[in-house]
Structure 1
Amino acid sequence: MPGCLWRDLWGRWRRYKYRFVPWIALNLSHNPRTLRYVPEESKDKVISDEDVLGTLLKVFQALFINDFNKQSDILTVLPESIKSKYQDLLSIQHPGLKMLEYGHQQQTIFNPEEILYQTLGFSIARAASSLVSAGKGVFITKGLAPKGAVVSMYPGTVYMKYEPVFFQSIGNPFIFRCLDGVLIDGNDKGISRIVYRSCNGRDQLGPLKMSDSTWLTSEMNNPLAIGQYVNNCSNDRSANVCYQEFDVPEIFPIELKQYLPNITYSYEKQSLLRCVVLVALRDIKQGEELFSNYYTIVS
């Protein structure tokens, strides 16, 4: 029995150590490829914020149109200019659609992963990692993710550095720390899951959802929202993606906020919603696993 217990604990440690900050800090010097150096916080950008925004809008708009028939509650509270925009976009993309009762249109519905592939040329999914005892990882399952592409998002509750995260952090390997101390809790279980669902319901305005909670389930609306499962690189696996912080601008379309997999913990209005995306450092082919740097080091 003691031997089985020890093997179980050792297996858990081997899976967890790549996300355990003290272990990472002690092992950074063994592999400089796990570090990414930037000159200062303001220059921690592989691609511009405009490119990140453009990608998210492109994907979210495609998801919205794909799910257009189920958006009736939202469309009723949107201005006529926005409704007509989507009707025009839908008619351009599907010119042969038949009008159904109540003005809805008959269309082919694709799953979110297929929409991602049609929109960006690749799709991603979770699967058993190629790292021994690393648990789950994220793979390019179809197509090719070119250098500079936004390949995933880090979902979760956003905490300012003065907000409490002690209980959420216990045994939690999914807390991401931004350069300015802002934390994102990407755990989809336990207290973290409860907190996110609570904040998600708190901020909903009638039929308008201000964030996406489906990343907590197996049926996700936003296929990019699995970035918390991207494993850190190792001595024999160099990083092919890196984290990039992105603040959602005020001009972000309200009807597309339902696909944002982040929400603030505090009810008080923050300046901008913090998101973190993962950006490809090189072309990543079908079947490859995504590996990130441990840290971004400001030099």
Structure 2
Amino acid sequence: MPGRLLRGLWQRWRRYKYRFVPWIALNLSHNPRTLRYVPEESKDKVISDEEVLGTLLKVFQALFVNDFSKQSDILTVLPEPVKSKYQDLLSVQHPGVKQLEYRHQQQNTPEEILYKTLGFSVTRAPSTLISAGKGVFINKGLVPKDAVVSMYPGTVYQKYEPIFFQSIGNPFIFRCLDGVLIDGNDKGISKVVYRSCNGRDQLGPLKMSDSTWLTSEIHNPLAVGQYVNNCSNDRAANVCYQEFDVPAVFPIELKQYLPNIAYSYDKQSPLRCVILVSLRDIKQGEELFSNYYTIVS
């Protein structure tokens, strides 16, 4: 019994130590390959915000059309030009199929939609690293360099907002360069908080965020970024984190696929998201590794 308890504590420590500041400070110099250096905060972006937005819109629109038979309540509140746009997309992707007939068509899985849209798909599986738990892999296709590979889901906290209880034993809290925190834990208090905020912000049939990443049936196949493991001296990083603020012009009907939500409702501040960008071409079967630490000089 004591041996099992110690093993459990050791495994928890191996996952949590990357968030423990004293351990980080003592070990940075011993693991130079696990660090990412940027000259200043403004130069932390690997690709432009326009490229990120374009990719997300492309994927989310494809998911929306694939879910078209389930979008009837949302379509009733959208302007006619917007409805016509999606009906045109539906006719292009499924020529000869009428809207009513499409309800009986077999839908693609979100992973299949991602592959058809971007040329690759990602999945969670046991990591190749010992005692690292789950990891994220390219299970189909090829990821080109400078591509959006996944998103880091979770509740977004401003640096002055309370997160103490959610942070206890939580290895999934991501800290942005400006101090904003994203809690990507899909269990416990974190899960309850996210679901509560998700219900709070819903406007009739319009959902402002996606909560399916908390379940096994994920609607946005990109929302697995919290399970990407840290690189090591033996396994170099092939992706990196990049912050992205959702612009005000983001289509309201596509917000149902955003895997992030603000802890406090604030119409004035843009929603913070974190995406993972490929640093090189990544082949099918490869595991994704990121840098947990970015040093701004």
TM range (shorter): over 0.9
Q: Quick check: 1:218 aligned with 2:216?
A: yes
TM-score by length of 2: 0.96
Of residues 187, 190, 202, the one that matches 1:192 is 190
SS at match of 1:277: strand
Read off the aligned partner of 2:288 and give its amino acid letter.
L
| Matches of 2:52 and 2:75, distance apart in 1 | 26
Percent of aligned positions that are identical: 86
CA offsets per residue over residues 194-230 of structure 1, 9 Å max, x none?
Answer: 1110000000000000000000000011000010011
The question of whether the paired residues in 2 share the 8 Å contact of 1:97 and 1:105 is answered with no
Looking at structure 1, the residues matched to 104 and 48 of structure 2 have their Cα atoms a distance apart, in angstroms, of: 38
Tell me by how many angstroms 1:2 deviates. 2.8
Contact between 1:66 and 1:110, CA under 8 Å: does it hold in 2?
Answer: yes
Structure 2 residue 144 is the aligned partner of structure 1 residue 154: no
Alignment-derived partner of residue 31 in structure 1: 31
Aligned residue runs from structure 1 range 1-299, under 5 A = 1-100=1-100, 106-299=104-297
| Counterpart Cα distance in 1 of 2:295 and 2:15 | 24
Q: What is the TM-score normalised by the length of structure 1?
A: 0.96
> Could you tell which deviates more after superposition, 6-15 or 30-39?
6-15
In the TM superposition, residue 106 of structure 1 has moved relative to its aligned partner by: 4.6
- Code of the aligned partner of 2:266: E
Letter in 1 for 2:226: Q
The DSSP-based 3-state class of the residue aligned with 2:269 is coil
Structure 1 regions of 5+ residues with no counterpart?
none
Relative distance call for 1:264 and 1:71 in structure 2 (3 A) is same
Contact 1:140 1:286 in 2 (8 A): yes
Deviations 1:139-178 (A, max 9, x none): 1110011110100000001111111111111111111000
Deviations 1:218-266, CA, capped at 9 Å, x for gaps: 0011000010011111121110000000000001000000000001011
What residue identity is the alignment partner of 1:12?
A: R
Describe the SS at the equivalent of 2:174: strand
More displaced 10-residue stretch of structure 1: 2-11 or 245-254: 2-11
Give the aligned residue type for 1:35.
L
* Residues 7-53 of structure 1 deviation map (CA, whole Å, 9 limit, x = unaligned): 33223323433444432332221121211111211111100000000
Instruction: State the one-letter code of the partner of 2:160.
Output: Y
RMSD (CA atoms):
1.4
TM superposition shift of 1:68 = 0.4
Q: What secondary structure, in the 3-state scheme, does the structure 2 residue paired with 1:119 have?
A: helix
Contact 2:121 2:141 in 1 (8 A): yes
Aligned in 2, Cα 1:270/1:90: closer, same or farther, shift over 3 Å? same
C-alpha contact 1:24 1:294 (8 A) present in aligned 2: no
Structure 2: which 5+ runs fail to align?
none
Deviation at 1:99, TM superposition (A): 4.7
- Aligned partner letter, 1:132: I
CA distance in 1, matches of 2:194, 2:69: 27
Paired residues, what number? Answer: 297
